[in-house]
């Protein structure tokens, strides 16, 4: 065991502030469901659904997952993100000190509002471990601005 320098830069009050902020944060975010649905899935990646003026944006955190391992399907208004993260192949040859990442299959199914236009093109981009889907809204659901002529 080698000697390492003691880090005395920790400000105890800063730590309390951080704790307070973290507790406040708990109320601002939805909890990721551990196992929800028919099948007991061990993992469910965090998801965001944002409603914009003319489209819905679905974002999903999928770090370390290749494009080919993700399967997306849209049936009516039900969107399913499914995939698998295979465990490291070379893990057996090394020594594991700590493992926090998961591997295995995952599936998230969400019901989108009726206003999603499922027939139109859905954009899906996987970038830096985040999957972003853009689903257009139906024409009639978009907010319309009616200009009034002043006479």
Largest CA distance in the chain: 86
> What is the phi/psi pair of residue 24, to 5°?
-60, -40
Give the residue among 53, 45, 22, 13 at the shortest CA–CA distance from 110: 45
Q: Are 127 and 59 in contact (CB under 8 A)?
A: no
Q: Which of 43, 57, 82, 138 is the binder for another protein (CB under 8 A)?
A: 57
- For residue 15, the 8-state DSSP code is H
| Residue 128 binds to another protein (criterion: CB under 8 A) | yes
Backbone region of residue 142 per phi and psi (left: phi > 0; alpha: psi in -120 to 50; beta: other values)? beta
Q: Which of 12, 23, 94, 150 is the binder for another protein (CB under 8 A)?
A: 94
Least distance in angstroms from the C-beta of 147 to another protein: 21
Find all residues with CB under 8 Å of 71, minimum gap 6, and list them. Answer: 80, 81, 82, 83
Q: How many residues bind another protein (CB under 8 A)?
A: 48
| Residue 7 binds to another protein (criterion: CB under 8 A) | yes
Binding segment for another protein (CB under 8 A), chosen from 34-42, 75-83, 124-132, 137-145, is: 124-132
| Residue 80 binds to another protein (criterion: CB under 8 A) | no
Q: Which of 35, 73, 86, 99 is the binder for another protein (CB under 8 A)?
A: 99
Question: 27-35 long-range contacts, Cβ below 8 Å, gap at least 24?
Answer: none
| Residue 130 binds to another protein (criterion: CB under 8 A) | yes
Of 31 and 75, CB closest to another protein: 31
The residues of the shown chain that bind another protein, judged by CB under 8 A, are 2, 4-5, 7, 21-22, 25, 28-32, 46-53, 55-57, 59, 61-66, 90-91, 93-101, 110, 113, 126, 128-130, 132
């Amino acid at each position: 065991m080698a000697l390492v320098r003691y880090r005395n830069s920790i400000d105890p009050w800063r730590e309390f502030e951080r704790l307070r902020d973290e507790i406040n944060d708990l109320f601002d975010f939805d909890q990721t469901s551990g196992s929800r649905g028919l099948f007991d899935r061990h993992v469910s990646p965090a998801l965001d659904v944002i409603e914009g003026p003319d489209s819905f944006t679905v974002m999903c955190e999928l770090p370390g997952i290749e494009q080919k391992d993700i399967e997306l399907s849209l049936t009516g208004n039900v969107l399913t993100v499914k995939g698998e993260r295979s465990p490291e192949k070379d893990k057996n040859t090394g020594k594991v000190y700590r493992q926090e990442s998961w591997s295995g299959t995952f599936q998230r199914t969400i019901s989108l509002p009726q206003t999603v236009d499922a027939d139109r093109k859905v954009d899906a981009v996987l970038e830096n471990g985040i999957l972003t889907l853009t689903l257009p809204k139906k024409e009639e659901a978009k907010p319309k601005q009616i200009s009034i002529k002043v006479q």
